[in-house]
Amino acid sequence: MKRSAVSVLGAVAVAVVLTLSGCAQGAPAAPVATTAKPTPTPSATQAAAPTVRVATTCDALATQALVDQAGGAHLVTSTPERTATPTGYADERMGVLTCQWSTTDPASPTASAVWIAVVPGASRAGFEAYRTGEAVASQDTPSPVGPDAYTYCFGTPVTQCGFHALLPGYGIVGTVFGSDASPDAATSAVAALLAQSYGVVSALDAPAPVWQPAAPALRGATTCDGLATTAQLTQTIGFGPSREVKSDDGEYSNSKLDVGHQVGAYWCVWVEDDGTASVSVGVLPGGATYLEHLRGSDAVEQPGVGQAAYWAPNGYLNIVMDSGWLQVHAVPDGKDISHEQLVALAKQVIANLGTT
């Protein structure tokens, strides 16, 4: 089960996986049913760069009293973690509003945390994939606040509670981890958090159109083959026979409610059939702006691929190409995979993706 909105997948898959702060007295009042407004016509005006597309605030979505009750302790606003991978920034690219509150003891592996995300442009398919996926596993209960609204709690003591809803133009996802509250208090607080956030989001106008870079712009992918085929892995880096082992789907999707797929954000990991060597590739169309802020002083330039490229100290090759961010990485595990070979693979991926 995922531990947080930005859960790390594992030593191999993290290469492309996943870039995500006094207790109330008594139980809150029962949720009040609300009705979502019909979806208004979005404005044709687009922001000049990726920006949050949710016209509300974290304080409006959740009161401090409810956050503290859900966590069973006083929680403070904190910044969600993100990994330095293309799909780790897919939510930000899509304008998701992400709110997080946590205890002041980051060293505690069981520290309480609450996060709420409002996802503009959430789809029915993405919502149902989340409901039936590993994080929730269809163990949610319908909420009276409105259609397509659910809550759940696992564990005794509580290890995880949450809520999610699909409204016209938006999705809502909330999670409470490691709560010190009693099961009854946590369940009550989660219901109240859903009621409050649902009421706020249902009153919003439709989100602004998602930002898109000017053409030509690097396209994204929706499958591993869209990034590179196993035959191309063999041709460029001598890797294989191989198979896909993880990708940006299901429990490994790095964006809330799969919303990143709308702009082609995707990642994939392949491993060799007869060993543990692995290769990973990830892409975020329109994501070059994030890569600019991640580049450190210890980056090493890599000429001859894309419009700019560098090697990070951890061995990841990051490439800017037509406003997009492409990342390639290998865990050779005894194989001889050179920088030159990974550059060749990156060029092949760029050719496969093409531009708008």
Nearest of 192, 277, 267 to residue 228 by alpha carbon: 267
Q: What is the pTM of this model?
A: 0.83
Distance of CA 51 to the CA centre of its chain: 16
Q: Quickly state the pLDDT bin for 124 (edges 50, 70, 90).
A: very high
pLDDT tens-digit series, residues 297-352 = 999 999 999 999 999 999 999 999 999 999 999 998 778 899 999 999 999 999 99
> How many percent of the chain have pLDDT more than 90?
64
pLDDT tens-digit series, residues 274-302 = 878 999 999 999 999 998 888 989 999 99
pLDDT tens-digit series, residues 245-285 = 999 987 888 999 999 999 999 999 999 998 789 999 999 99
- Are 69 and 24 spatial neighbours (Cβ–Cβ below 8 Å)? yes
161: part of which helix (H) or strand (E)? strand 160-167
**What integer pLDDT is reported at residue 107 of this predicted model?**
53
pLDDT tens-digit series, residues 144-161 = 999 999 999 887 666 688
In DSSP terms, which residues pair with 280 in a beta bridge? 269, 329
**Domains delineated in the chain:** 18-27+47-202 (no CATH), 224-353 (3.40.1000)
pLDDT tens-digit series, residues 28-60 = 333 333 333 443 343 444 456 789 999 999 999
Q: Which two tokens mark 225?
A: 């083959």
Q: Residue 205 pLDDT more than 70? A: yes
Average the pLDDT over 227-244 and give the result: 95
